[in-house]
Amino acid sequence: MDKPRLQAAAKNVRLKATLPDSARAISIAFAQYGPRDVAFVSLETGLKTFDVTDLDHPKLLDHLTKQEMALPGDDPTKIFWENEDINVDPVRKLAFLAREVNSFGRTLPGDRPTGNYIVSAVDPADLKILAFHRQDTGHTTTCINDCQFLWTAGRDRSDAKTGRIFVTDIRDPKNPKELPVSIDVRGKAGEGKITHDVQVDAQGIAWVAGDNGTRGYWTQGWHRDPLSGKFREAKAWDPIAYAGGNVPKVDMPTSFTHNSFRPVGRTLADGPRPTPENPPGSLLLHTEEAFGSPTCKTEGRFVISSLKGSYNGEGWSTQPFEMKTVGVWSPDDQEGTIPADVECSAHYFDVNKRIVAYSWYEQGTRFLDISNPAKPIQIGYWRPDAAVSWAPYWHKNTVFVADISRGVEILELEKGAYEAQESGTNVTLTAHHSKELARESGRDRVPLAPNPFYGWACPMLASRDDSDCGAGACGAPC
């Protein structure tokens, strides 16, 4: 059952609608079926599809349940985890779900399969699993080269234990084939470095976030390889380095990036305004997910970096190249922010017309104008009580928020947000608002617990009755 809708602390944002029975939502994707608009929602309970053609009256189409997804040896009463960034092939109508090691209550010394489910959504009201491809990771999975291949990220559970990307050929989706290659290797064998997620920009460059920053690759076409100096063809299993690197520790102390976005081509107008100093395609927006500062003062930030100086393979050197920081933002000392001990790390974000919709866990969904990349400003926010904002998605001038506690909420920016963007006016912290926030220190908390494998990078939600806790979840040893 969905939780009651508690009053939200909000500015320049209103709730337009909610998706029914969408509690424990983690990630969302969209696909068009002629005139019908369909949302794919990945949850702890499986995968749901909704007809969202009429946003005022969304309709559930199908639910691929965790019971249907369970493998031999799974406990189907336990949660499916985590598929943090669902991808959908818009042409073949396939959905890809990454399975983590602690799904369905799996614990050591038993077997703990990880990998990808490939789901047919040719009829979004009749979801069918085509295959489960087992491989040695399964945190996020991303379409590459028009969804002919998958790049899967996460902790490497093979004997190599390096940070790397696993490549799967899905040209025949019923018979996926893992290719014997390691892409974007990070750290030495046994160090346990990780890759976290991949985002493909409008130019086709795949950006890999994780330990030691964010790096981009050509995966198609002929390009000069800066690591060899040769001109060659890039392929999904043999990409060519493009640019990227680390962020100075003063701006990202953990050196762990969670996800990224490079405004270029058809998405250039979504990012900051280009200038001679920051020409088109030269900026990278990315997240640090970290929980070392309970008041958001030092860790868990949104960072805008310049790619200048990283086009000749500098980001692949033994000592990670540090990109120049152009701008930084966090909820610290901002209006709408709870000044108590709450989880306020940056998580997923999405960008539209120079406005970033951004999830900050218990600090809610923030809306930032990034027209000037050196000075991101907050123009609106939505922070309901008892919320855990996981990921926002712009869709037809609305924002779908996957809130793992409250379910999917559909938000609309009000006129005041666009006026603030036009005038460059930050939603400011007022003395009155500070007093209001002080009274919220005793509010109903949402219990988060360290993920047993990623720590406070990608935490888990402990249910209020602890029914999902125990061995293999909520920080218990595994």
Q: Do the beta carbons of residue 85 and residue 348 sit within 8 Å?
A: yes
Q: What is the mean pLDDT of residues 321-345?
A: 90
Please name the residues in contact with 469: beta carbons below 8 A apart, sequence gap of 6 or more: 449, 462, 463, 476
Lowest mean pLDDT among 26-35, 302-311, 388-397, 461-470: 461-470
Closest CA to 274 of 169, 358, 177, 372: 372
Give the C-alpha distances (Å, rounded to integers) separating 29 from 102, 137, 435.
23, 22, 39
Question: Would you say residue 330 has pLDDT above 70?
Answer: yes
Report cis status (omega within 30 of 0) of the bond before 76.
Answer: no
Question: Would you say residue 271 has pLDDT above 70?
Answer: yes
Residue 461: per-residue pLDDT: 64
Residue 153: per-residue pLDDT: 97
Question: Would you say residue 231 has pLDDT above 60?
Answer: yes
Give per-residue pLDDT as tens, 73-119.
999 999 999 999 999 999 999 999 999 999 999 988 999 999 999 99
Neighbour count for residue 156 (Cβ, 10 Å): 25
Let me know if residue 261 belongs to a domain.
yes
Let me know if residue 235 belongs to a domain.
yes
Taking the C-alpha atoms of residue 108 and residue 87, their distance in angstroms, rounded to an integer, is 30
The rounded mean pLDDT for the chain is: 90
Residue 200 token pair:
């493909």
Q: What is the mean pLDDT of residues 362-371?
A: 96
The predicted model scores a pTM of: 0.92
Let me know if residue 474 belongs to a domain.
no
Assign 327 a pLDDT band (cuts: 50, 70, 90). Answer: very high
For tokens 């614990």, what's the residue? 107
Q: What is the mean pLDDT of residues 239-250?
A: 97
Q: What is the mean pLDDT of residues 125-149?
A: 97
Let me know if residue 172 belongs to a domain.
yes
Counting Cα atoms < 13 Å in the Cβ hemisphere of 223 gives: 20
Cβ neighbourhood burial of 317 (10 Å; 0-12, 13-18, 19+) = exposed
Helix, strand, or coil (residue 16):
strand
Q: Do the beta carbons of residue 215 and residue 315 sit within 8 Å?
A: yes
Let me know if residue 471 belongs to a domain.
no
Neighbour count for residue 113 (Cβ, 10 Å): 20
Q: Which has more pLDDT, 236 or 4?
A: 236
> Which helix (H) or strand (E) segment is 134 a member of?
strand 128-134
Question: Would you say residue 393 has pLDDT above 50?
Answer: yes
Residue 168 token pair:
């799967």
Give per-residue pLDDT as tens, 281-315.
999 999 999 987 777 888 899 999 999 999 999 99
Taking the C-alpha atoms of residue 431 and residue 10, their distance in angstroms, rounded to an integer, is 16
Residue 32 token pair:
């068009």
Question: Would you say residue 448 has pLDDT above 90?
Answer: no
Q: Do the beta carbons of residue 204 and residue 220 sit within 8 Å?
A: yes
Q: Do the beta carbons of residue 338 and residue 384 sit within 8 Å?
A: no
Pairing between strand 231-233 and 222-224?
antiparallel
Owning domain of residue 28: 8-461
Taking the C-alpha atoms of residue 306 and residue 4, their distance in angstroms, rounded to an integer, is 43
Q: Do the beta carbons of residue 404 and residue 359 sit within 8 Å?
A: no
Let me know if residue 75 belongs to a domain.
yes
Lowest mean pLDDT among 12-21, 345-354, 384-393: 384-393
CATH assignment at residue 168 = 2.130.10.10
Residue 417 token pair:
């947000």
Q: Say how many domains are in the chain.
A: 1
Residue 344: per-residue pLDDT: 87
Taking the C-alpha atoms of residue 116 and residue 412, their distance in angstroms, rounded to an integer, is 33
Q: What is the mean pLDDT of residues 43-54?
A: 97
Question: Would you say residue 440 has pLDDT above 50?
Answer: no
Question: Would you say residue 20 has pLDDT above 50?
Answer: yes
Report the amino acid identity of residue 7.
Answer: Q
Residue 442: per-residue pLDDT: 47
Assign 441 a pLDDT band (cuts: 50, 70, 90). Answer: very low
Q: Which has more pLDDT, 357 or 319?
A: 357
Let me know if residue 18 belongs to a domain.
yes
Taking the C-alpha atoms of residue 71 and residue 113, their distance in angstroms, rounded to an integer, is 9
**Does the CA dihedral 381-45-134-179 come out positive or negative?**
negative
Which runs of E-coded beta strand occur in 52-114? Answer: 59-65, 87-89, 94-99
Let me know if residue 351 belongs to a domain.
yes
